[in-house]
Structure 1
Amino acid sequence: MIEELVAASDVSLGESGADLRQAAIWPGVWALLSTCGVPRPLIVDAGGGSGGFAVPIAAAGYPVIVVDPSPDALAALRLRAAERGLDHQITAVQGDLGDLGDLVGVGRADVLLCHSVLDVVDDPATALAQALRVLRPGGTLSLLVAGQGAAVLRRVLAGRIDEAFAVFTGELGRAPRPSRRFSVADAVALVRRAGGEVTDVHGARIFTDLVPGERLSDPRVVESLRRLELAAARHESYRDLAAHLHVLARRPARQPHIDDHE
């Protein structure tokens, strides 16, 4: 499936460390776009920044609204879109996660991307519940959160045992700015509390961050590592060690605790 994305969007995955770190995320995103049941779905990318996901998706022919609080990131996005001739496909809007309903419109989006946003909000469940309001009933969610297991493991390997324990217990990163990390159970519970129905969970960057950077200059190593990441992404024995957990979900046709207050 990831090969289909490469062909459709002219994105060469696996040629750099950054692309490799996203290799296990793209198949899930592409699956949402290709199976959402509408001919030309509207995608909202919350916290999409300079367009790491929005630009390839727009290049594949999908309209994308990027909502991000950073004016600098949005300026970079507009420049990238102009350079690729995608001005008509990408709309950049400044705002926060909680403002999505007002900025985009309730029930307007078919697919919502919420990548690496809930790690730094005060109340992830409430923020996600508000964000899900932009989805039409039956709309789908791609959620990316930081994995707790990988954060603990990396610190242990670096010899920072006390810090690893603080991450394990959730004490590290509570103040002054929250930096949350989630287990698979945490991530699933978060989506359910927000009113979403989880359809799939897999890991991203399970092994990539553990490989010395100089080894990634060898294309054969990169390709082997890409295949390993994709193979292990849904394997429960390895998923809990992922740097990121990728949760795919849908907004049910009926959500009383959200819709009844709209």
Structure 2
Amino acid sequence: MADPRPRRTGPAAGLRTAAVWSTLAEVTHERGDALGRPLRVLDIGGGSGGMAVPLAETGQEVTVLDPSPDALASLGRRARECGVQERVRGVQGDTDSLSCVLGEAAPFDLICLHGTLELADDPEATIAAVSALLADGGVLSLVVAQRLSAVLGRALAGEFDRAAAILSRPDGRWGEDDPGPRRYDRDAVVDLLTRHGLTVRTWHGVRIFSDHVPSALLDGDADRAALLDLEHLASHDADQPLLAALGATVHVLATL
């Protein structure tokens, strides 16, 4: 029997991106209606445009900041293939050069900082620079790695010492050989954003289950679609805040 659910495409189809895209598409629509024009969007570390190009396809004007020239070349090709090259601009740079590289292009209505804050040499300076680039009422879309999911994952793998280290260390790492440079708890994220004038509006867990589901259980499109539906339901359930804390990452929307 065919799966009655509509087939997802683009970022709405990925286990890593579906929940984030759902929230991002909603906020861009709301802000666009409020402002009466396309949003000026900055995607920091946006790479080859996995989020930037779909945002441009909705009519937004998107600047992607990324240190990799190869990624920016891929961004250009993807934008041309989708017919949005006039609404996508690639700029080479990283979080350390935010103000220098993009100061003249500011302010931005929406800034995406997805999977990048963990890698920044100075997260405090990064958030300060992001806040300075936001327009009044602008939105920061932040995706960061969370601690508790990593604790659970290591424990389920039988790596109990690593799980204990992640739980107890301030940086949320198990040691120097941990490929993750930093993991966050909710309080740490809220405190960091608040110090720089940002107010958290929404908080959704991402990949609550998918990182722990054996690939053998995802044989077909129907299984994958069912898991995506479950992820969406769990990530938006305000009555179950523990579920959000168990996401491999968390998607935060904060406003200036």
TM class by shorter-chain length? Answer: 0.7 to 0.9
CA contact (8 A) 1:119 1:181 kept: yes
Give the number of aligned pairs: 240
Q: TM-score, normalised by structure 1?
A: 0.85
Aligned to 1:192: 194
Q: CA deviation at 1:74?
A: 1.0
Aligned to 2:81: 83
Matched ranges for 1:150-161 at <5 A: 150-161=149-160
The reply on whether 1:232 has 2:227 as its aligned counterpart is no
Q: CA deviation at 1:111?
A: 0.4
CA distance in structure 2 between the partners assigned to 1:174 and 1:45 by the alignment = 30
Aligned to 1:112: 111
CA distance in structure 2 between the partners assigned to 1:173 and 1:62 by the alignment = 40
Aligned to 1:68: 66
Q: CA deviation at 1:220?
A: 2.0
CA distance in structure 1 between the partners assigned to 2:112 and 2:100 by the alignment = 17
Aligned to 1:260: none
SS in 2 for 1:239: helix
Aligned to 1:247: 252
CA contact (8 A) 1:69 1:96 kept: yes
Runs of 4+ with deviation above 3 angstroms: 173-178
CA contact (8 A) 2:110 2:138 kept: yes
Matched ranges for 1:1-262 at <5 A: 11=10, 13-14=12-13, 19-36=14-31, 37-38=34-35, 39-105=37-103, 107-170=106-169, 172=173, 179-234=181-236, 235-251=240-256
The 1:190–1:24 alpha-carbon spacing in structure 2 relative to 1, beyond 3 Å, is same
Structure 1: gaps of 5 or more residues: 252-262
Structure 2: gaps of 5 or more residues: none
The 1:12–1:105 alpha-carbon spacing in structure 2 relative to 1, beyond 3 Å, is closer
CA contact (8 A) 1:111 1:141 kept: yes
Which residue identity does 1:31 align to in structure 2? E
Q: TM-score, normalised by structure 2?
A: 0.86
Q: CA deviation at 1:173?
A: 6.3
Q: CA deviation at 1:230?
A: 1.1
